[in-house]
Amino acid sequence: MSIYRQLWLAIIGLTILSFTGSFAVSVYTARKYIEQQLYMKNVDNAGSLALVLSQLPSKDLVTVELVISAQFDTGHYQEIVLTDPKHQVLVDKHYTGNENGSPIWFEHLFPLQADAGVALVQDGWKQFGSIRVVSHSRFAYQALWTGIKELATWFILAGLIAGVMGTWLLRLLFQPLNRVMEQAQAIHERRFITVPEPTTPELRSVVVAMNTMVERLKNMFSEEADRLDSLRRQVNHDPLTNLPNRSFFMTWLQEALQGDEALAGGGSLALVRITSLEQLNTRLGHKRTDQLIQTIASTLQELVPGVENRLAARLNGADFAVLAAGDNDTDGFMEKVCSALRHVMQTHWAELDDVFHVGAVQYQKSEKISDLLAASDKALAIAENKGPNSCHNLNVSVRADQNMSCEDWRQTLTQALGNGRIRLERYPVLASGGQAIHQEGAARLQLQPDGPWLSAGEFMPMVLRLKLSSAVDMDALHIALNHLTTEATEIAVNLSADSITDWGFRDAMIDILKQNPDQSRRLWIEVPEYGAFRNFEAFRSFCLNLSSLGCKLGIEHFGQHLGEIAKLAELGLDYLKIDSRYVRDISQNAGNREFLQGLCKMAHNVGLIVIAEGVSTEQELATLIELGFDGATGQAVTQRTKG
C-alpha cells in the first residue's frame, strides 16, 4: 500500500475516531442533562400538585380526581398516581398513546431513565396520601434526537471540509516526495536525473542525498567514458594528427566493401602522399614538418566533418587516405581533395612548390580489398609522374543504375512500398551462453516484381535522399509486429535518424505499440549511433516517449561517440550494439580488447546489455565473450545456429 493511501486512511481513521468520541461524549452528556431536568420537573410537579390537593377544603375522590385529571390532560406526563397511606391506589392516570418524539431504535439505543417525583398530600394535620408524578419522555427524546441530528450534520460537513483540505494538503506535501519517487524510478530505468530541493527539511535531506548520488554516478560515468575514449583514440588514432590510423582504416574499408550494410553503389577512395617527407624534414626541421603534416591532416578532416560513411586517415608517415562511401563521382571527389590541399598550401606554405600527390579510384561493393589498394597505388604512381601537386583518377566508370534520376527512384521506391515488396531478413543475436536474445530484422526491398531483393545499403541512400525513410521504417515495424503476433520470439527493428525526428511517424508508432502491448514487450528498437547523436534532443524525446510502452531501446553501430556517452545516462536505454569495426580481428588487437573490456564494464554498471556486431569468426566470438560481451551477431553466429 502506498504511503499516500496510508496517510489518507490515517486521516480518515482519525476523523472517524474524533467524530465517534465527540459524538459519544455529546450524546452521553446531553442524555444525563435531560434525565436530570426530567427528574427535577417530576419533583417540582409532584410538589405543586400535592400542595394543590392539600389545600382542597373537601378531599372527596371525585374532586381529587378532577384536579389530577386536569393536570394530566396537559399532555406532559407519562403517569400520575395517588395512593393512600396504606399504599392503596386512589387515582391512577397513565398515558396510553403511541406517539414518539424520535425513532424507536433511537429510544432503545439511548434510553432516558429519570426517577419519578413523589410528594405527600396532607389533610389538615393528617396524611391524606402520596402522589407519584412521571413526566412524558417523548419531548425529551425529540430534543435529544434533534440535537444529535444537528451534531451529526455538523460532523459530516466538517469531515467533508477536512477531506478536501486534507487532499489538497497531502498533494502539496507529496509533490516533493513524488519527485523523489520519480527520481528513484528513473534510476531504476537507468535514467540519472536530478530534482529541485523541497522546502520540507526531512525531504530536503533525502533529495540532496539522491541528487548527490546521481551527480556522482554521472561524474563516474563521464570520467570512465573519457578514459575509454582516450584509450580508443590511442589505439585507433594517429597521435600527431588525431586521424584514424592504418589499422582502423583497413577495418573501415573492409566493412565498406564486404559489410552487410555497405552502400551498394560503392564509392571513391583517394590516397594522398607527402612528397619526399625525409627531404622536407631536413629542410624544414622536425617541428615545422610536423606542422605541415597536421595542416594536411586537418584539411582532409574538413572534407569529411561528421559525415556518415566518410573517413580520413593517416596510413603511415607520408601517406593519407580519404574514403567516401556512396560517392561515385570520383572526379568531383578527387577535385575537392586536390583543390583543398592546393589552397592551404598556397595560403600557408607558399615557399613549398612540391608537397603532395593524390591518386583516386572508384570502387564497388564486394570488390577485393587487395585489388582496390593496388588500383589506388597505381593512380598515385601516375599522379607522381605528372609533376608537383598533381592528381589522377584511375577509374571514372559509373554504374548503370546511377543513371536513374531522382524522380525515377522516387517512383520505383513508392511503387515497391505501395505493393508491399518489402520484407525483413532476420539474423540471430545470441547471448554468450548460446541462448537467443532476439532476431535482428534487416529490411530488404524488391524494386521490380521479378527483380532481386536489395539489401539496405543498396536502396537506403536514395530512400534517405528522397525523405522516404519513415514509410520504409513504418512498413518494417508492421512486418515485425506481424511476426511477433504469430511467433514466440523477439525482433529488433532498425529505425533511421530521419524517422525519429518525424513527429508524425513517432505518433503513429506510439499508437501502434499501444494497440499491441504484448508484441511491444518483445520488440527491440535501435537507432544508428551517428543519427542518435546528430539529432540528440529528438532521440532523447523519442526514448522518453517509448519508455513506458515496454519495448527495449538501443543504439547500433556504437563506438565513435564514446566521449559523449554520458548523455545517454538520462535516456533509460537497454542495450548497445558495438560497431563491427572495433570487433574485426579483436583477438589480435590488444588495444581494442582493453577498450572494449572497459566499455562492457561501464555499460554493465548502468544496466546496459552489450552486443557485438559483425562477428565473423569463432575466434572473435570467443574473445568477445571473455571481454564481457552479453551477446553477438554476425556470420559466425549465423553459422553456429545453422550448425
Asked if residue 573 has pLDDT above 70, the reply is yes
CB atoms within 10 A of CB 621: 23
**Distance (Å, rounded) from C-alpha 399 to C-alpha 421?**
24
**Is 418 found in the same domain as 391?**
no
Domain membership of residue 637 as a residue range? 403-642
**Distance (Å, rounded) from C-alpha 560 to C-alpha 307?**
12
Residue 474 lies in a domain: yes
- Where does a domain end: 376, 398, 420? 398
Q: How far is CA 2 from CA 5, 56, 209, in A?
A: 5, 80, 22
Contact 29, 147 (CB under 8 A): no
58 vs 439, more confident: 439
> Which residue type sits at 314?
R
Residue 205 lies in a domain: no
Contact 635, 613 (CB under 8 A): no
**Is 383 found in the same domain as 495?**
no
Query: Rounded to the nearest 10 degrees, what angle do helices 201-236 and 590-605 cross at?
Result: 170
CATH number at residue 23: 3.30.110.200
**Distance (Å, rounded) from C-alpha 229 to C-alpha 237?**
11
Residue 40 lies in a domain: yes
Q: Fill in the DSSP letter of residue 197.
A: P
Residue 242 lies in a domain: no
**Is 412 found in the same domain as 326?**
no
Contact 301, 250 (CB under 8 A): no
Cell numbers 534510476 correspond to 187
> Which residue type sits at 289?
T
pLDDT digits (tens, 9 = 90+) for 90-113: 888 887 766 666 787 777 777 877
User: Quick one: pLDDT at residue 402?
Assistant: 45
Q: How far is CA 428 from CA 424, 434, 636, in A?
A: 13, 11, 10
Phi, psi of 131 (to 5 degrees): -115, 140
Phi, psi of 63 (to 5 degrees): -65, -45
> How many structural domains is the chain composed of?
3
Asked if residue 398 has pLDDT above 60, the reply is no
Contact 442, 480 (CB under 8 A): no
Strand partners, 130: 83, 120
User: Quick one: pLDDT at residue 395?
Assistant: 61
pLDDT digits (tens, 9 = 90+) for 491-541: 999 998 889 889 999 999 999 999 999 999 999 999 988 888 888 889 989
User: Quick one: pLDDT at residue 552?
Assistant: 93
- Where does a domain end: 106, 139, 160? 160
**Is 419 found in the same domain as 337?**
no
CA atoms within 13 A on the CB side of 401: 10
**Is 338 found in the same domain as 412?**
no
Asked if residue 55 has pLDDT above 80, the reply is yes
> Which residue type sits at 185?
Q
**Residue 532: helix, strand or coil by DSSP?**
helix
Q: How far is CA 622 from CA 121, 134, 617, 630, in A?
A: 121, 105, 9, 12
**Is 455 found in the same domain as 565?**
yes
CA angle 139, 145, 151 (to 5 degrees): 140
**Distance (Å, rounded) from C-alpha 224 to C-alpha 602?**
7
**Is 411 found in the same domain as 336?**
no
Residue 184 lies in a domain: no
Strand 436-446 relative to strand 453-454: parallel, antiparallel, unpaired? antiparallel
Contact 322, 336 (CB under 8 A): no
Q: What is the mean pLDDT of the chain?
A: 84
Query: Rounded to the nearest 10 degrees, what angle do helices 61-72 and 3-54 cross at?
Result: 150
> Which residue type sits at 479?
I
CATH number at residue 354: 3.30.70.270
Biggest alpha carbon–alpha carbon distance for the chain: 164
Contact 361, 327 (CB under 8 A): no
Residue 194 lies in a domain: no
- Where does a domain end: 373, 398, 423? 398
**Is 121 found in the same domain as 20?**
yes
Range of weakest confidence among 57-66, 414-423, 605-614: 57-66
CATH number at residue 453: 3.20.20.450
Cell numbers 566533418 correspond to 305
**Distance (Å, rounded) from C-alpha 426 to C-alpha 440?**
5
**Distance (Å, rounded) from C-alpha 362 to C-alpha 268?**
4
CB atoms within 10 A of CB 392: 20
User: Quick one: pLDDT at residue 262?
Assistant: 57
pLDDT digits (tens, 9 = 90+) for 230-282: 887 888 889 899 899 998 898 888 888 876 665 556 889 999 999 888 888 88
**Is 538 found in the same domain as 430?**
yes
Residue 258 lies in a domain: no
Asked if residue 3 has pLDDT above 80, the reply is no
Cell numbers 547523436 correspond to 533
Q: What is the pTM of this model?
A: 0.64
**Is 427 found in the same domain as 394?**
no
Q: Which helix (H) or strand (E) holds 170?
A: helix 138-188
**Is 414 found in the same domain as 312?**
no
- Quick one: CA torsion of 215, 218, 219, 225, rounded to 10 degrees? 180
Phi, psi of 320 (to 5 degrees): -125, 160
Residue 323 lies in a domain: yes
pLDDT digits (tens, 9 = 90+) for 576-587: 999 888 888 888
**Is 552 found in the same domain as 436?**
yes
